[in-house]
Structure 1
Amino acid sequence: MKKTLFIALMASFTVNAQVREKGEVEVSPFIGVSTANYFGDVGMMNEAVVNPYFGANLDLYFNNRWSLKTGVEYQTMGSQGESYGFYGFESFEEKINFVSVPIHANYHFSKNRRWYLNFGPTINFLTEATSNGMNMKEGITPVQLGLGLGIGYKIYVNERFSIGIDHQEYIGFTNNLKSKYNNNDLFIGNYFGSFSVKAIFKLGSSESEK
């Protein structure tokens, strides 16, 4: 009987210890795979491009349900397929690389707060853009804005470390094409989706240290 009570108490303590509180911070380096494509006035036979996806997120907790998610992420947008050119249909592959900064509300739910749902604006800073290996950075909007949305699940290992399984999506509000190169007033936006694995580390709590 005593052993059963001890196990129950320890299990309860472990669950409660894993629920984050106000002022606590998590840092989450991650790696995964992404797909991206264009939408809007595409006018070509296009397919998604598949690329690595990596970076690090930071969660600052306001209470045990809400946190601010931000960080630095390396995202590759673009498309591939065929477009109609001077010699008929021609194959193309375009890659647009960004350093991205999400500014998302993150809602943690379920009894043990294992699930989370994040949403909010993402700012993208252009680093490189190529079409079939040729530089096209000059014609691409250098700072872009869009909406990010994602869901994830935590696998608790101990009080200070968890593993996260994460899915994110992004849709761009900004036209890829700079206005001075866009005589036909076309809109071509970016769509992005990813799956990744996170190593989630809890840092010291500023509240608990007071």
Structure 2
Amino acid sequence: MKKTLFIALLASFAANAQVREKGEIEIAPFIGISSANYYGDVGVFNQAVQNPYFGINADYFLNNRWSIKTGLEYQAMGSQGQDFGFYSSTFKEKINFVSVPLHANYHFSKNRRWYLNFGPTVSFLTDATSNGKDMKQGINPVQLGLGFGIGYKIYINERFSIGIDHQEYIGFANNLKSQYNNNDLFIGNYFGSFSVKAIFKLGSKIENE
């Protein structure tokens, strides 16, 4: 009987240990794969491009359900396909950004294993190429969009979890600078990803006082 009670207490502690409280912080480096494409005034033959996706996120907990998510993320946008203009040719464009999310993150389920994040993401252009040729001067260097996603945490211990994460992003800005856009086209970015996170709890303000 005592052994059964002891096991039950341990199970209860394990279930509640990953529920974060106000002031606690989680840091999560991640790596994954992404798929991106253009939307707007684009051809029907545009296809998505796949690229690595990596970075680091941080969550500051406001209470046991809500946190503020931010971080630095490498996001490769772009498109590829066939251009049937004056003459037919293939193309592959790659637009690389370092992105900063500022998202509300809602943690749910009994043990807060699931989380749902959403909010603005600001992206800073690092380079852009079309068939390997530089086109950075024609791309807007700072872009704003909406990011959202969902994830699940696999509890390992009080200080460490593994996260399985899916994120999406839709850009509000036109890729093309106005001075290079004589036809008044709108070409925006769409991005989706799957990644694995190593989630580390840093501690809480309460514990440090």
TM range (shorter): over 0.9
What is the aligned partner in structure 2 of residue 165 from structure 1?
A: 164
What is the aligned partner in structure 1 of residue 118 from structure 2?
A: 119
After TM superposition, give the deviation of residue 43 of structure 1 in Å.
2.9
**Range that drifts further, 6-15 or 156-165:** 6-15
What are the within-5 Å matches in structure 2 for residues 14-163 of structure 1? 14-43=14-43, 45-86=45-86, 88-163=87-162
Structure 2 distance, partners of 1:175, 1:207, is 45
**Range that drifts further, 12-21 or 102-111:** 12-21
After TM superposition, give the deviation of residue 44 of structure 1 in Å.
5.0
Structure 1 distance, partners of 2:17, 2:50, is 39
Counterpart secondary structure, 2:206:
coil
Contact persistence 1:27–1:200 (CA under 8 A): yes
Contact persistence 1:44–1:83 (CA under 8 A): no
Tell me the alpha carbon deviations over residues 6-36 of structure 1, each in whole angstroms, 9 at most, x when there is no partner: 0001111111211000000000000000000
Counterpart secondary structure, 2:43:
coil
What is the aligned partner in structure 2 of residue 190 from structure 1?
A: 189
TM-score, L = length of structure 2: 0.98
AA partner of residue 174 (structure 1):
A
Structure 1 distance, partners of 2:50, 2:43, is 21
Structure 2 distance, partners of 1:134, 1:184, is 22
After TM superposition, give the deviation of residue 157 of structure 1 in Å.
0.2
After TM superposition, give the deviation of residue 207 of structure 1 in Å.
2.1
TM-score, L = length of structure 1: 0.98
- Long gaps (5+) in structure 2: none
Q: Percent identity?
A: 78
Structure 1 distance, partners of 2:36, 2:118, is 19
- Structure 1 segments, 4+ long, off by >6 Å, are none
- Long gaps (5+) in structure 1: none
Structure 2 distance, partners of 1:56, 1:43, is 34
Counterpart secondary structure, 1:203:
strand
Aligned Cα root-mean-square deviation (Å): 0.8
Structure 2 distance, partners of 1:48, 1:155, is 31
AA partner of residue 144 (structure 1):
Q
Tell me the alpha carbon deviations over residues 99-157 of structure 1, each in whole angstroms, 9 at most, x when there is no partner: 00000000000000000000000000000000000000000000000000100000000
